[in-house]
Structure 1
Amino acid sequence: MRAQIEVIPCKICGDKSSGIHYGVITCEGCKGFFRRSQQNNARYSCSRQRNCLIDRTNRNRCQHCRLQKCVALGMSRDAVKFGRMSKKQRDSLYAEVQKHQQSLECAGAGAREDNSNMADHNCAYRRGSSAALSDLDDITTLPEGLLFDLPLTPEDAGGEYCNLDMLGGSAGSSSSSQSSPEQSSLDFADGNNSIKHEYQLLHDSGLFSHAIVNPVPESCSLLEIEHIIQSVVKSHIETSQYSTEDLKRLAWSLYSPEETRSHQTKSAEVMWQQCAIHITNAIQYIVEFAKRISGFMDLCQNDQIILLKAGCMDVLLIRMCRAFNPINNTLLFDGKFASPQLFKALGCDDLVSAVFDFAKNLSRIQMSEEEMALFSAAVLLSPDRQWLTDVQKIRKLQDKVYMGLQRCLQKEGVSDEKLAKMVSKLPAMRSICNLHIDKLEFFRLVHPETAFTFPPLYREVFGSEITFPDSTEG
């Protein structure tokens, strides 16, 4: 029956549905949107006339109208599931399914051969990929193997693919393009020695392994630097899971001792699954962060995939310090701040301890949102990752980001000291990433069937060669 229901488009936005969610046939994106709105007791507002069109391409432009449509069409946290529907509701649903199938059969007659079906699917996917990825929930619903391939650089998306209007934001053009000619260049000659010193630290850390003979040109375009700063910072702010206001509001929302004990008594499988979902949600935002950085989408598809797979955990660790409370050594996890003891059931005390220690040490640096954004981008755009195609292009992009970070730090007058502290955390990040992979591989060996149920995006990023049993499918 579920397969039959899925032929009916999402009642909210018209995208491909995935079943009945909260009482209404919807896609995964609208299901996730409604779930988040209820979990967070969200109160949205509409800047227009409260009658915005909600469809696949613009469903993220107005959260207020989208939620109103969800409620109007019957979505409810208390809604009964399909198996508990009344006979009248079930008969009505069967009738709708049959009617929709008949209309599809009439429209698609003569176009059912395997090759043409695959071609149609690929074209439709590329056309809708920007809209699909603009809803962060949709990334985890894509077929495995497409998670990073098609979404990032669709062949026919053209220049509109990164247009922030599609994502509920403003256009990506920088106001700094209006700068006067007199301000078109910036001389960094005075800071040459300190910048070279920090580049050497990057080189020594292992994450930035390329040798830079002339790390800083005699003069660098102020317009270019300001543009990359604005692009990266805007991307960071728009793709942060929690705003600074949200984090302040949640700061003293702690897990009670009873709730902590409840988590400790969970099985390793259940706790790993919960953490995998939590990490996957964060990775979705990091994918969006990368896409919106000026120049990232100009890289070839292969390099985009490699940079994201290799660097998303690094960025996640950097972002994590925003959600760390050093006063009581707690970290935001599923809406509340948790102590390290809450994760006991994972069986990874050394990994958990390393993560909390890293968050504590990084938070001491007290990075601003600007600095964190640029540092994250510099780490993500690391040209030393294996199998990259255009290392020089990535290196130039990273250098621009690094210059932007240097400029932001120079405004504070503490560039040498603060940047040295930031760079010194890179080896610890690499160590935690490797430890996470080791723990995950061991868990996969012991619990292969549970590992197979992890979110597709999590499995794609931290992929393994282990073959899972067919019996787990379906």
Structure 2
Amino acid sequence: MKEELHPKSPSADEQLSGTAGQQHTVHNVDCKICGDKASGFHYGVHACEGCKGFFRRTLRMRLQYEHCDRNCKIQKKNRNKCQYCRFNKCLSLGMSHNAIRFGRMPEAERRRLVHVTTPDSDSLVSDLVALSQRIHSSYMSTFTMTKTRARDILTGRSNISPFVIYDMETLWQAEKGTVWDQLLTQNPPGTEIGVHVFYRCQCTSVETVRALTDFAKSIPGFSTIYLNDQVTLLKYGVHEAIFCMLASLMNKDGLLVAGGRGFVTREFLRSLRLPFCHIMEPKFNFASKFNALELNDSDLALFVAAIILCGDRPGLMNPSQVEDIQERILSALRRHLQTSHPDAPFLFPKLLHKMADLRQLVTEHAELVQSIKRTESSASLHPLLQEIYRDMY
């Protein structure tokens, strides 16, 4: 991957010292839960990394999911849609719950699961609080357009009055320096308007990818991961994180751009010709539901960190190491939400569900981008984004 996505690599000694252990793989065996390729015999059944991590996270964090009586069919393509039915299927197929059925489980894993049933110690809580504060501080110093700042602008509480872009004329005015610092040489640009909006979306994405790479480096534990795994986590995680943070810049009428200096109306984006009119509309639909959760910047910092450190990304050399780091972040997020949202007991599992929604949103976005590349000869793709999308889905 290009230089922007290459965090600092651990030393050869670190990589060879066992920081990332070996992953045992079971060949030609399907996961009993979702049908994906099983990675081993986990908690009593053959399971994939995704279902293993889901079950372990449910146990460790004592999660309770909203009831569902539809008996949803759990498959690889939809396994993240209904957490209640997925967990019930884990139990019905023999994965242990309260009385852990250890079977062939390694001793280290057995000790870790026994530890789940013990109360959280004061020192552990203190460590999670410190982790939350460290990630929040890094998030606020890395990203200038925070949710707090964006909501102040969108609700008129800020002294910033964004320039409204609602048609072709106002877009070209914005390009003349009213909104964007990067001035175009042509006036108006020689490209068709839909292609130009696609270009602007890419500019913003590239800037955010670079910021997310810096943020990832600051997450405790990230620098200990294999360099190849760091790149894989960023490749698959940056767009999920981008669309999560993008929701903070949106309301039902449009979105802020250029650090709040501009506001592009939703109707203008809808008015673009096919396929460009489909670029942003799914993001607005996601944002309306995501913003209803009323997360603050400290919540979002931990959520974005958890998105990046996702242990079921394809091609990871040591997924269990990534899972361990993510679960610590998720534990910190769960504790933090209990404090910041005491009246929303289901907020944490809802956020885990939003991770699945973001993954689907990115899949659809990647398909649209690849379609635009094939059908629109004048719509080029930034090299960094090309590298991210290559072999992604």
Q: Taking structure 2 as the reference length, what is the TM-score of the superposition?
A: 0.62
Within the alignment, does 1:195 sit opposite 2:62 as a pair? yes
Within the alignment, does 1:231 sit opposite 2:134 as a pair? yes
CA contact (8 A) 2:10 2:226 kept: no
CA contact (8 A) 2:4 2:210 kept: no
Identify which of 365, 369, 372 aligns with 1:443: 372
SS in 1 for 2:131: helix
Q: Could you tell me which residue of structure 1 aligns to residue 257 of structure 2? A: 333
Q: What is the CA RMSD across the aligned residues, in angstroms?
A: 3.7
Q: 1:207 to 1:292 in 2, by over 3 A?
A: farther
Q: 1:281 to 1:346 in 2, by over 3 A?
A: farther
CA contact (8 A) 2:366 2:389 kept: yes
CA contact (8 A) 1:441 1:464 kept: no
SS in 2 for 1:398: helix
Q: Could you tell me which residue of structure 1 aligns to residue 288 of structure 2? A: 360
Deviation at 1:429, TM superposition (A): 1.4
Deviations 1:116-167 (A, max 9, x none): xxxxxxxxxxxxxxxxxxxxxxxxxxxx643334x432759x9xxxxxxxxx
Deviations 1:192-231 (A, max 9, x none): 8973325999x95279999896494524422431232122
Within the alignment, does 1:463 sit opposite 2:319 as a pair? no
Q: Could you tell me which residue of structure 2 aligns to residue 83 of structure 1? A: none
Gaps of 5+ in 1: 1-143, 159-190, 466-474
Q: Could you tell me which residue of structure 2 aligns to residue 306 of structure 1? A: 232
Identify which of 205, 227, 242 aligns with 2:80: 205
How far apart are the structure 2 equivalents of 1:365 and 1:381?
Answer: 22
Counterpart residue type for residue 305 of structure 1: V
How far apart are the structure 1 equivalents of 2:324 and 2:60?
Answer: 20
SS in 1 for 2:256: strand
CA contact (8 A) 2:162 2:262 kept: yes
How far apart are the structure 1 equivalents of 2:147 and 2:377?
Answer: 39
Which structure carries more relative contact order (alpha carbon 8 Å, separation 6+)?
A: 2
Counterpart residue type for residue 290 of structure 1: A
Report which stretch shifted further, 346-355 or 381-390. Answer: 346-355
Q: Could you tell me which residue of structure 2 aligns to residue 137 of structure 1? A: none
How far apart are the structure 1 equivalents of 2:390 and 2:238?
Answer: 13
Identify which of 206, 209, 219 aligns with 1:283: 209
How far apart are the structure 1 equivalents of 2:67 and 2:276?
Answer: 34
Q: Could you tell me which residue of structure 2 aligns to residue 152 of structure 1? A: 8
CA contact (8 A) 1:241 1:282 kept: no
Write the mapping of 1:6-405 to structure 2, written as runs, cut at 5 A. 145-149=2-6, 151-153=7-9, 155=11, 195-197=62-64, 204-205=79-80, 214=113, 216=116, 218-220=118-120, 221-244=124-147, 246-248=149-151, 250-251=153-154, 253-258=162-167, 262=171, 266-326=192-252, 329-334=253-258, 335-343=261-269, 344-345=272-273, 347-405=275-333
SS in 2 for 1:425: helix
How far apart are the structure 1 equivalents of 2:330 and 2:230?
Answer: 19
Counterpart residue type for residue 463 of structure 1: R
Q: Could you tell me which residue of structure 2 aligns to residue 418 of structure 1? A: 347
How far apart are the structure 2 equivalents of 1:291 and 1:336?
Answer: 30
Deviations 1:4-26 (A, max 9, x none): xxxxxxxxxxxxxxxxxxxxxxx
Report which stretch shifted further, 296-305 or 405-414. Answer: 405-414
SS in 2 for 1:413: coil
CA contact (8 A) 2:166 2:264 kept: no
Deviation at 1:369, TM superposition (A): 1.4
Aligned length: 284
CA contact (8 A) 2:65 2:349 kept: yes
| Larger gyration radius, structure 1 or structure 2 | 1
How far apart are the structure 2 equivalents of 1:260 and 1:287?
Answer: 35
How far apart are the structure 2 equivalents of 1:316 and 1:390?
Answer: 25
Deviation at 1:440, TM superposition (A): 1.1
Deviations 1:171-209 (A, max 9, x none): xxxxxxxxxxxxxxxxxxxx98973325999x9527999
Q: 1:206 to 1:245 in 2, by over 3 A?
A: closer
Specify which structure has the higher proportion of helix. Answer: 1
How far apart are the structure 2 equivalents of 1:306 and 1:207?
Answer: 26
Deviations 1:267-286 (A, max 9, x none): 33322212111111111111
How far apart are the structure 1 equivalents of 2:349 and 2:59?
Answer: 15
Deviation at 1:260, TM superposition (A): 6.9
> What percent identity do the matched residue pairs reach?
18
